Amino acid sequence: MDYFKKEVLKAAEAEIARQELLTDGEIRVAIIGQDKKKDKDKTLYQLALGLFYKLEMQNTIGRSAVLLYIHTVRRQFQIIADEGVHSKVGQSAWDEIANDLKEAFQYGHYQNGLLSSIQKIGSLLATHFPPKSENKNELTNEIFEN
């Protein structure tokens, strides 16, 4: 099933760009379909963390990157926040975003759930990592698809 059509992905990329204007933090979204054979026994957390490092998200200034990892076949998602963000935000904020996203997905509101999650992540980043004068975009806003 195609949960995220191209126009939804483009809207998500545009929302990431809008949110990143308000923060020095970075947001990435990954939409994953099938697991590779070597990944079948890995947990969702292991897969998401592996992609976080593969995308070099740990190299942002201030360790201020967040990955929203959505696995459509497993019908699960994971939020990975780098240590700079997580130490300021705390687990309860991520749990709240995850609960809201889970509820949206349960009702089939994939686009609204995705965009709302990006906005909430952006708001947290803006609070804890306000933009400096340069506000360099360190990571692409493009959705990672596999």
CB-CB contact of 81 with 25 (8 Å): no
Query: What pairing do the DSSP bridges indicate for beta strands 26-32 and 76-81?
Result: unpaired
Angstrom distance (rounded) from CA 90 to CA 63: 14
Query: What pairing do the DSSP bridges indicate for beta strands 26-32 and 144-145?
Result: parallel
The series of mean pLDDT values per 10 residues for the chain, 146 residues long, is 84 97 96 86 94 96 95 93 95 96 95 97 96 87 94
- In 10 A of CB 20, how many CB atoms? 23
The domain defined by 6-145 folds into: Diaminopimelate Epimerase; Chain A, domain 1 (3.10.310)
Q: What pLDDT score does 109 carry?
A: 94
Q: What is the pTM of this model?
A: 0.94
Q: In the chain, what is the greatest distance between 2 CA atoms, to the nearest angstrom?
A: 45
Query: What pairing do the DSSP bridges indicate for beta strands 65-71 and 76-81?
Result: antiparallel
Angstrom distance (rounded) from CA 27 to CA 125: 9
Q: CA torsion sign, 12 to 32 to 57 to 138?
A: negative
Q: What pLDDT score does 38 carry?
A: 84
